[in-house]
Amino acid sequence: MNSEGLNSDVLDSSPAASLEAPMEPVVVETPPPPPPVPGLDDISLYIHRELSQLQFNIRVLEQALDESYPLLERLKFLLIFSSNLDEFFEIRVAGLKKQINFAREQAGADGLQPHQALARISELVHEQVERQYAILNDTLFPALAKHNINFIRRRHWTTKLKSWVRRYFRDEIAPIITPIGLDPTHPFPLLVNKSLNFIVELEGIDAFGRDSGLAVIPAPRSLPRVIRVPEEVGGSGDNYVFLSSMIHAHADDLFHGMKVKGCYQFRLTRNADLSVDTEDVEDLARALRGELFSRRYGDAVRLEVADTCPKHLSDQLLKQFGLSENELYRVNGPVNLTRLFSITGLDNHPELQYMPFTPVIPKPLQNAENIFNVISKQDILLMHPFESFTPVVDLLRQAAKDPHVLAIKQTLYRSGANSEIVDALVEAARNGKEVTAVIELRARFDEESNLQLATRLQQAGAVVIYGVVGFKTHSKMMLILRRENGEIRRYAHLGTGNYHAGNARLYTDYSMLTADVALGEDVGKLFSQLIGMGKTLRMKKLLHAPFTLKKTLLDLIARETAAASEGRPAHIMAKVNALTDPKIIRALYKASQSGVKIDLVVRGMCCLRPGIAGVSHNIQVRSIVGRFLEHSRIYYFLNGGDELVYLSSADWMERNLDKRVETCFPVEGKKLISRVKKELELYLSDNTQAWVLQSDGRYVRQQPTGNQNPRNAQAALLEKLTAPIVVTR
């Protein structure tokens, strides 16, 4: 072959050719080494718990934009965001500020100092509050107006409406309001937590020659914040005027002879976390009664003002309350949005609300004259709210009347003083049963209700115990002792939720009604520990915090880790409200590194970062936000094919596992295990209400892709769940 047919530049090897066209060396690029795998204590592997909680609140706000929800339900989500944010500041932000004020700053596993967290919180909340009011004003109010539900702003008041507002103000508002002029003899009033107030700028000299130029108008809590306008005044439909608009319009009437230069609403949020030294208190109930009053006047943590408020006035308010500019929130609308809840249940607009439903009664209990006979033969598993809470109430009611029932023992965390559960306990005590109630007085924001509950039960003759000092009693359990054929038999209820019928319609939770001998004995032992004194009693089936639950969880995670290390199948699934415990997180990281598949449904706070190469690449975390508040706690372990399923009152948090009395009970029998597993897998397949946590801390909402059908776990359970599967003994 002639060399001319080839590339002469390549083939010519003469010295001249080499000098003229030197050969370029072939460089083989080696890929960069993978980044080092961080140690399990590395701060980059953890998310700050308060920032994670804030992300949950943002997911709630997102629901207000979801057009698949009925319109009034979207408004409700926006208001829930406000309510959640109030508590976030009252407890979470207040706690961080307290650390700084007392020079006790402590960083968590994420390494973020409290002052750093507060700066990030301020940035996020300012952004989201501005967005919240934009959604309200630009999206929800116009959409409601299309259904003839109107919130009439002052600039749109007709002459007729103005006259009606004047009369209403004169007759209903002015007599109750007490304006306070600010001068040396009238210092700034002590304002109640989250109360509506107005700062008023005045011009002129009053009858006593005073000209301080400022006054405050506290709006009494007895006044409605949203007032319905009569049809003959506002026309057809549902028309409302804000109390704040009425006060703005007629502030002049409250300061005779003075000129009102400006009137601006504001609201102060205070630290509402009760502080009781449990080691130095003789009577917890009495101490709590004293603290409940102080909750209304704790340290200031946030100031909300109308966005029209001049800077010199907002600065004066900040100075008055000892707050910084970062703690000021200017809002384009009412500062107390949660009062709008009063209009979210309009009877004449059912089409704008969720379709009502009737929870299922389990078939074995339908028309059952004696619930004890049914439970003695089989466990009854209920999933609320899809299945009714009524059987739990009916069991207690029947026990109150049954002559064979000797004693009833029950924990109460959030139930309400006037609930059906409490009615049944009162009746049982009056009927001569030995009734013992372990009431957790320190259930946050339910302390006052629980004090009333304790008084009511004591007056009926029940023995009331306030749990264990230093450990909140958060477990949900009931024990009924009944004499049958000359022997005492134990019937128990164990649950993941509270004994509150209202919550049972809004929260997802599990209940187990059982006459299992071992479980009944374990529940009896736990009541003995709570009520009396003594060493920890050995349990056969029940796991309980702060003693065996955390250790067993770590052992079960380690068992899956070992299985994966040996090449055997390993799988962990869990559904909890929060995951913050560093030991549990590290154990899950180790399991992931060994190859364990880990699927988590974490509603709120999650400090674990999934999807990090070499550490959490086998972990998926999702949050479900929908019609019902996800509240059930489920733990699943493959366990070499001998599957273990537990239901619990405990989240995977330090406070639950180390500082609370919690229960965790096994689900037994293949049918019930299969049922709970399938229900958990339904949440893991949700692609409409699920938000998947990314390794950088962001949540991405899932959407059907390709040929996927929309899957909504709550809707599927609402539509399909029927009577529970039972296990015959």
Q: Which residues are tagged catalytic?
A: 474
Residue 416: left if φ>0, alpha if ψ -120 to 50, beta else—which one? left
Residues 369 and 664: their CA atoms lie apart, in Å, by 30
Q: How many other CB atoms sit within 10 Å of the CB of residue 558?
A: 14
SS3 33: coil
Pairing of strands 487-495, 434-439: unpaired
Residues 604 and 615: their CA atoms lie apart, in Å, by 22
Name the residue among 577, 615, 626, 618 with its Cα closest to residue 599.
618
Residues 43 and 107: their CA atoms lie apart, in Å, by 10
Cis geometry, peptide bond prior to residue 546 (ω within 30 degrees of 0): yes
Q: What tokens appear for 703 in the block?
A: 């959407």
- Angle subtended at Cα 646 by Cα 645 and Cα 647, rounded to the nearest 5 degrees: 130
- On the 0-12 / 13-18 / 19+ scale of CB atoms within 10 A, 34 is exposed
**Count of alpha carbons within 13 Å of 113, Cβ hemisphere only?**
6
- Angle subtended at Cα 678 by Cα 676 and Cα 684, rounded to the nearest 5 degrees: 110
Name the residue among 704, 710, 716, 701 with its Cα closest to residue 61.
701
Residues 407 and 273: their CA atoms lie apart, in Å, by 36
DSSP code per residue over 112-179:
--HHHHHHHHHHHHHHHHHHHHHHIIIIIHHHHHTTTEEE--GGG--HHHHHHHHHHIIIIITTT---
Provide the sign of the torsion angle of the four alpha carbons 663, 669, 672, 673, taken in this order.
positive
Residues 118 and 249: their CA atoms lie apart, in Å, by 37
C-beta separation of 723 from 391 below 8 A: no
SS3 284: helix
Residues 455 and 677: their CA atoms lie apart, in Å, by 42
Residues 373 and 365: their CA atoms lie apart, in Å, by 10
Scored b (16 or more CB within 10 A) or e, 98-126 reads bbeeeeeeeebbbebebeebbeebbeebe
Q: What is the CA radius of gyration of the chain?
A: 31
Q: Quote the DSSP letter at residue 721.
A: -
**Count of alpha carbons within 13 Å of 583, Cβ hemisphere only?**
14
In this structure, which long-range contacts are made by residues 132-138, counting pairs with CB atoms below 8 Å and at least 24 apart in sequence? Answer: 132/61, 132/64, 132/78, 132/81, 132/82, 133/331, 133/332, 133/333, 134/332, 135/61, 135/64, 135/65, 135/78, 136/78, 136/333, 136/337, 137/332, 137/333
